[in-house]
Structure 1
Amino acid sequence: MSQFTKAEVAQHKDEKSMFIIIDDGVYDVAGFLDDHPGGAKILKRMAGKDATKQFWKYHGKSVLEKYGPNLKVGTLKEEAKL
């Protein structure tokens, strides 16, 4: 599985590849826009960003267990803290 920096995730925010971060996982939600019960707008707003706080505010663990495996493209790379 690939590892991505936050800067790399931030580059993926269009209809072809739309990455979001949840915890340390990176998910491509581009193919899920039409299926998202909350609408595509919120996913587009979070594209390329860390959506952890917003995700857990509205979803339980079962949602990530159900959809996560199909959408996960990698993990967040540990970055040096300067």
Structure 2
Amino acid sequence: MSKSFSVADVATHKDAESGMYIIIDENVYDVAGFVDEHPGGAKMLKRVAGKDASKQFWKYHNEGVLKKYSERLKVGTVGEKAKL
């Protein structure tokens, strides 16, 4: 059951109260519950919350990281092409 979001919808979710959504390759993830676990620190996730983080994600991570956390963090997909 995957929900479809617009880029504007994702942009409204950029804090812990409303959820911290990021886009990675057309998929939407809520990282609010992952902030304290993130090895790179909370600051990195807060900086990209509400945005397309694909470029930053792939710069530091590989496919295995996405597979490991995808089931837990994925909340939907983007119904339109995200702009970097």
Which bin holds the TM-score, normalised by the shorter protein?
A: over 0.9
Equivalent residue, structure 2, for 1:6: 7
Q: Give the number of the structure whose alpha-carbon radius of gyration is greater.
A: 1
After TM superposition, give the deviation of residue 78 of structure 1 in Å: 2.3
1:63 matched to 2:65? The reply is yes
Mapping for residues 1-82 of structure 1, pairs under 5 Å: 1-16=2-17, 17-78=19-80
In 2: Cα distance, 1:71 partner to 1:6 partner: 18
Percent identity between the aligned chains?
65
Task: Point out the structure with the larger strand share.
Answer: 2
In 2: Cα distance, 1:40 partner to 1:78 partner: 28
- TM-score of the two chains, using structure 2 as the length reference: 0.91
In 2: Cα distance, 1:9 partner to 1:21 partner: 8
Aligned-pair RMSD on alpha carbons?
A: 0.8
- TM-score of the two chains, using structure 1 as the length reference: 0.93
Aligned length: 79
Post-superposition Cα deviations, 1:17-48, rounded to whole Å, max 9, x if no partner, equal: 00000001000000000000000001000000
Post-superposition Cα deviations, 1:34-75, rounded to whole Å, max 9, x if no partner, equal: 000000001000000000000000000000000111000000
For the Cα contact (< 8 Å) 2:7–2:80, is it kept in 1?
no
Query: What SS does the aligned partner of 2:76 have?
Result: strand
In 2: Cα distance, 1:21 partner to 1:29 partner: 10
The runs of 5 or more residues in structure 2 that have no matched partner are none
